[in-house]
Structure 1
Amino acid sequence: MTVNHPSEPSLSAVEQQVEEIWRYVLRMPQDQEDATFFELQGQSVSAIRIASRIEDELGIRIDAGSLFENPSMKEFIWSVTEQVKSSAQAGGER
């Protein structure tokens, strides 16, 4: 039986929150669902804002550089959730 601690968000909640942060910071128009970080005019300051908000709101430390390595929203969300899974498997430390 798996027990989620109240302070640990579920993966679907993480995915949803990361998507909301991405859309807000990059001001993503509804008609550009597949636009990459670069196509949305993302820059270093945008990457730092996204990473900072993820850490502040979800308690997940993300390297802002991962946005440059995973420039699509789906790739970036996947990388964040993979990091969460790895942290959980390593004993839940973030």
Structure 2
Amino acid sequence: MSSDIARKVEEIWRAALTVPNGQEDATFFELGGESISAVRIVSRIEEELGVWIDVGDLFEDDPNLATLVRSVTAKAEDASAA
């Protein structure tokens, strides 16, 4: 399941942000992330994966893709365990 989540989060991330070759580890802000892209990412994750994350997490944590995948995967696992 976590590999499915990782693929979907990556798809969402790349759709909302421009990720140039060689910058796959760049953070949200390094990729030009702003409020509209944060809302797009959060909304799609909630709609497509059923996982709620706060828009503020993107602004406060400035995650890269791998960090966001870990966060979404952990929240998905917590939700399924509840």
TM-score by length of 1: 0.78
Asked if 1 retains the 8 angstrom alpha-carbon contact of 2:29 and 2:62, the reply is no
Which of the two has greater helix per residue? 2
Equivalent in the alignment of 1:78 = 70
User: Could you tell me how far apart the structure 2 residues matched to 1:83 and 1:23 are?
Assistant: 21
Runs of 4 or more, structure 1, over 2 Å off, are: none
For the pair shown, the structure with the greater C-alpha radius of gyration is 1
Higher relative contact order (CA 8 A, sep 6+): 2
User: Could you tell me how far apart the structure 1 residues matched to 2:50 and 2:68 are?
Assistant: 17
Structure 1 stretches lacking a partner, 5+ long: 1-9
AA aligned to 1:75 is T
CA distance 1:84–1:44, change in 2 (3 Å) = same
AA aligned to 1:42 is G
Say yes or no: does 1:18 pair with 2:5.
no
Equivalent in the alignment of 1:60 = 51
Say yes or no: does 1:34 pair with 2:25.
yes
Asked if 2 retains the 8 angstrom alpha-carbon contact of 1:66 and 1:76, the reply is no
Query: RMSD of the TM alignment (CA)?
Result: 1.2
Structure 2 stretches lacking a partner, 5+ long: none
TM-score by length of 2: 0.88
Q: Percent identity?
A: 51
User: Could you tell me how far apart the structure 2 residues matched to 1:43 and 1:65 are?
Assistant: 11
Paired positions, count: 81
User: Could you tell me how far apart the structure 2 residues matched to 1:59 and 1:86 are?
Assistant: 12
